[in-house]
Amino acid sequence: MRRVSLTRYLIEQQRDKQSIPSDLRLLIEVVSRACKAISNTVAKGALADVLGSAGSDNVQGEAQKKLDVISNEILLEANEWGGHLAAMASEEMEQPHQIPHRFPKGEYLLLFDPLDGSSNIDVNVSVGTIFSVLRCPDGVTEPDEKAFLQPGTKQVAAGFAVYGPSTLLVLTFGDGVAVFTLDREQGSFVLTQENVQIPEETAEFAINMSNQRHWEAPVRRYIDEVVAGATGPRKKDFNMRWIASMVADLYRILTRGGIFMYPVDAKRPGGRLRLMYEANPMAFIVEQAGGAATTGRKRVMELQPEELHQRVGLVIGSKKEVERVTRYHVE
Ligand code: F6P
Ligand code: MN
- What's the 117 CA to ligand 2 centre distance in angstroms? 5
Q: Which of 208, 243, 311 to mutate to test the pocket of ligand 1 (most atoms within 8 A of CB)?
A: 208
- What's the 112 CA to ligand 2 centre distance in angstroms? 9
Each residue's pLDDT tens digit, 273-306? 999 999 999 999 999 999 999 999 999 999 999 9
Structure confidence at residue 1 as a pLDDT band (50, 70, 90): low
C-alpha atoms less than 13 angstroms from C-alpha of 70 in its C-beta half-sphere: 21
Q: How far is Cα 124 from Cα 111, in angstroms, rounded to an integer? A: 26
Query: What residue's CA is closest to ligand 1, atom 12?
Result: 244
Q: How far is Cα 117 from Cα 273, in angstroms, rounded to an integer? A: 11
Each residue's pLDDT tens digit, 197-223? 999 889 999 999 999 999 999 999 999
246: Cβ below 6 Å to ligand 1?
A: yes
Look over the chain and give the mean of its residue pLDDT values, rounded to a whole number: 96
124: Cβ below 6 Å to ligand 1?
A: no
Number of H helices, E strands in the chain: 8, 17
Q: Give the residue from 245, 222, 231, 182 showing the smallest Cα distance to 320.
A: 222
Question: Which are the contacts of 262, defined by CB distance < 8 A and separation ≥ 6?
Answer: 207, 208, 271, 272, 273, 313, 314
Question: What is the pLDDT at residue 58?
Answer: 84
Q: How far is Cα 42 from Cα 116, in angstroms, rounded to an integer? A: 12
Percent of the chain with pLDDT over 70: 100
C-alpha atoms less than 13 angstroms from C-alpha of 300 in its C-beta half-sphere: 37
Handedness of CA 120, 121, 124, 130 (dihedral sign): positive
Q: What is the CA radius of gyration of the chain?
A: 19
pTM for this predicted structure: 0.97
Query: What residue's CA is closest to ligand 1, atom 11?
Result: 244
Question: Which are the contacts of 298, defined by CB distance < 8 A and separation ≥ 6?
Answer: none
Architecture of domain 204-330: 3-Layer(aba) Sandwich (3.40)
Shared fold status for 6-193 and 204-330: no
- What's the 199 CA to ligand 1 centre distance in angstroms? 24
Domain locations in the chain as residue ranges = 6-193, 204-330
- According to CATH, the topology of domain 6-193 is Fructose-1,6-Bisphosphatase; Chain A, domain 1 (3.30.540)
